[in-house]
A and B are shown apart, each in its own frame.
Chain A
Amino acid sequence: MFFINLKRILKAGAINFWRNGTVNIATTSIMTVTLLSISILLVLNFLGQKAVENFKDKIDISVYFNPDVSEESIFKVRDELAAMPEVKSFNYLSKDEAWERFKAKHSSNPVISQGIAELDTNPLYATLNIKAKNIDDYPKISDFLSRGKYAEIINKINFEQNKQGIEKLSSIVNAIQKGGLWISLIFAIISVFVIFNAIRLTMYGYRQEVEIMRLVGAGNWYIRAPFIVEGALYGVIGSIISIVILALFVYFGSDIINRFLIGDTITSYFRQNALFIFGVELLLGVAIGVLSSLFAIRKYLKA
């Protein structure tokens, strides 16, 4: 009995849907736009996170030691850092090594080579590059070095510029997320309104039938459910269309988008996550459709 009814309700819902004719095109379009904006938001979120991750990976603290500091004292600092749980790795570059590298790098430039030759002492600092396990640990490490007992042997610590860079990037990503969320929300509200009206139109076309159905003994939900199915169908069809559009975007736009990605490609991301994105679209689309029809039922189909 339950399954027979379910089948009949689904069929009646589909008939409602098709009978709406051209109204459907408008309704399905707005649903598609809504879901598309939501899924683009998902993709942007991924791209933003990737960018931040890439950036974070490049962050480290560079500590420049005063020229007169002995390697021994530097190794003391290094060993103490090694004992800190926050430190992931470090890389020591001695004065001489730095000097050799500098010279090698600029050997083809006669002006600099000339300058180097005139110098009789090594003007570079010994540096220690430190990577933290977590981006939030950098201030602690930086504090340890600049405020602690090693302060006087350290010439400078460069960390602040990087920190500002990452904060800026994070805030841009956040702004995009927030803006996208608002746009999606506005589209969702418009969708609810448009679908509500489409279903109201169907109900208006069916007002006689609904009354007759009641008189021959149809229960409330047997009458209402097809309208809910109709609402859900807008979501199902909208999500199918929008995932197809998104796939086309990715396919034809991958060359441009991939320029902003390091290592990853948008196509591989999409391939791995298409099902998830479609799932989210389907879920939200059906939810929006069902919600709209429940509003319409509440307003126009009270027993």
Chain B
Amino acid sequence: MIIFKEVSKVYYNHGSVLSLDNINLEISRGEFVSVVGQSGAGKSTLLKLIIVEERPTSGEIFFDKLMLSKVSDYYLPNLRRNIGVVFQDFRMMPNKTIYENVAFTLEVLGRTNEEIDRDVLVSLDIMGIKDKSGFYPRQLSGGEQQRAALARAIVHHPAILIADELTGNLDLLNTWEIIKLLTKINEMGTTIILATHNREIVNSLNKRVVTLDKGRIAQDQATNGKYII
């Protein structure tokens, strides 16, 4: 489903930072992949390349048959509508309520108001923040914001779910609940890519683990992967 071919990414500001260095990676439909690595290893950068928030300095990325370097600005929204993303910094729209934030994803897809109302409330309910639907993001705790961000990412049943540091602000109990939920979503066919620092989660998932180290793939454990840094 996603293929990285000799992908490198250099950030050019205040000097150049090589954040990804010749990455070759193939992720198939239905996989649950954890991406681990120290802070600054390039996990977020890897995810940003998939949603074309950033473009690679060299190499090519394929999304199904799509060459991402060739995707036009006009088509880009279509690509992104197939992906659900939980950003490391949440990226909730500050002037919209939680409900409106989650609803926006469906609005963009042209859903009717009835469909939107139904799906948003289900999604918020699953995340346990239905009672916060009228709140603005700044009125929510870190953990609640994280769950709202996840609600937005799954509300439209995307083909692929990308989550950056999904559990950073959650307590242990919530973390396990979320992981259980992700596993269920994955079993229903959604491909999941999870960037994380959480050793326990990774070790208990028993799924594929890709370890990044200074922008390179240090290890790619296909199944039953463990958190090794």
Contacts and interface: CB of A to CB of B under 8 A. Distances in A.
Interface stretch (B74-82, B163-171, B207-215): B74-82
Interface stretch (B5-13, B35-43, B103-111): B103-111
B96 A219 contact: no
A213 interface: yes
Interface string B46-77: 00000101000000000000000000011001
User: Interface residue tally of chain B, by bracket?
Assistant: 20 to 34
Interface residues of A, number: 21
Contact of B108 (A205, A209, A211, A218): A218
A21 interface: no
B152 interface: yes
A205 B96 CA distance: 13
Contact of A217 (B73, B81, B93, B95): B81
Contacts of A217: 77-81, 83, 105, 108-109
A209 B95 contact: yes
Interface of A: 1, 4-5, 8, 19, 205-206, 208-209, 211-220, 222, 303
Q: Helix, strand, loop or mixed for chain A's interface?
A: helix
A209 B80 contact: no
A64 B215 CA distance: 107
Interface in B83-127: 83, 85, 87, 91-96, 104-105, 107-113
Contact of B105 (A209, A211, A216): A216
A152 to B, nearest CB: 85
Given A215-B91, A216-B104, A303 B80 contact: no
29 contacts: A1-B110, A4-B110, A4-B111, A4-B113, A5-B110, A206-B95, A209-B93, A209-B95, A209-B96, A212-B91, A212-B92, A213-B93, A213-B108, A214-B80, A215-B53, A215-B87, A216-B85, A216-B105, A216-B108, A216-B152, A217-B78, A217-B79, A217-B108, A218-B77, A218-B104, A219-B108, A220-B73, A220-B77, A303-B73
B85 A215 contact: yes
A4 B93 contact: no
Contacts of A5: 110
Given A8-B107, A205-B95, A212-B92, 4 more contacts: A19-B95, A208-B94, A209-B93, A212-B91
A237 B81 CA distance: 36
Contacts of A216: 80, 85, 104-105, 108, 152
**5 A-B pairs with least C-beta separation:** A217-B80, A217-B81, A1-B110, A219-B77, A209-B93
